[in-house]
Amino acid sequence: MKIYIIAQILGIVAWLFFFASYFCKRINKIILFQFISSVFYCINYLLLGAWAGFFVSMFEAVKEMGYCITDKDKYIFLITIPVYILIAFISENSFLMIIPILASIIDGYGILKSKNTVVICGIISNTMWIIYDLYYFNYALAFSDFTIAFLNICILNYSYIKFLRRNNVYTVNRKNISMGTLREIYDLDKQYYDSKNCWDFETIKKIYQQEKQSYILVKDQNKIIGYINILSLKKDVYDTIMNSKTMYDTIKKEDIVSYSLNKKNYYLSINSIVLKNEYQNKDTMDKILHAIRKFIKNKEKNGYHIVKINSYTINEFELSVIEKLNFLKVKTINNECILHEQKLV
């Protein structure tokens, strides 16, 4: 009886941490709270002898970390299938073990799809978990799953993610990104820039291979919704941009300077700021501004002295970001774009 009571208490604690994660603003804190929640979920199932629930919860904690630190969601989902087969063999010998396994697979599948599909799959998944929890008289987690399912129903009904008082948008500056991600960046360029302002895919790939830390990705539930590209240029190339009477957009990989402590001064160019229209709000704007400032601050902190930063703006959103970063207007070029600069010395 004591073990059962302890399990229920731990289930309540797990629910509290998970629910609190919806109110966190920073993605790192969200991940931390949900990881702690998963640990308590695992102990809860372990104490109740619900082995499938224990193994699936433990594996989901690892899987979620994989989603957060990589951009290979599809591959992670496919890798999970043999793991679930293994869990089926080592779990309780009854039809019940299939319930949490299917619930987790459905939930993982939803992550790969649109926001509405994510919510629908979440409702189905949590309903299955409720059935599993009630079989073991696990009322604490049954209540937790019911709460999450109810919130997902409300989101689906109102199509308004802020019902949870949480914006899932976050930014990440990762050294290694896949060719698939570069392809998504190329597709965003085609959608939000004129053809004459777009690089072809091969140019994007060559530029990335020359400087792999140049992209800040903007994501919503692991889906890329925008990006920022910041390049470190040779001084003569930077000066050419500032003195050119036309838009200088012929940057080659030879124009880029890799970060090295042997070099004293750096000249940066914010090459692109792209964000899907439906996300262009104050909250996402603040996160993009924070990401750019953090990028620059980290470079300085690591000993890379930045002298100047320039940027072309060719649409209203780019202009609003650059102005909020306190860049000064240098000149308007052929009524097509505006050149801005910020001096850091």
- Tens digit of pLDDT for each residue in 268-313? 999 999 999 888 888 889 899 999 999 998 888 888 899 999 999 9
Rounded CA separation 117/137 (Å): 30
- For the ranges 52-56, 133-137, 150-154, which has the lowest average pLDDT? 150-154
Tokens of 52: 């499938």
In the predicted model, is pLDDT for residue 166 greater than 50? no
Strand order in the sheet with 169-172: 169-172, 215-220, 223-233, 265-275, 305-313, 337-343, 328-333
User: Residue 12: what pLDDT?
Assistant: 87
User: Residue 92: what pLDDT?
Assistant: 65
Tokens of 260: 């090295």
Of the pLDDT bands very low, low, confident and very high (cuts 50, 70, 90), residue 163 is very low
- For the ranges 3-17, 70-84, 146-160, 207-221, which has the lowest average pLDDT? 146-160
Tokens of 237: 């190339």
- Tens digit of pLDDT for each residue in 139-159? 877 877 777 766 666 655 544
Q: Which domains does the chain have, with CATH numbers?
A: 2-164 (no CATH), 171-343 (3.40.630.30)
Which residues are CB-neighbours of 235 under 8 A, at least 6 positions away? 265, 267
Distances (CA, A) of 152 to 61, 128, 148, 170: 20, 14, 6, 20
Rounded CA separation 150/144 (Å): 10
In the predicted model, is pLDDT for residue 83 greater than 80? yes
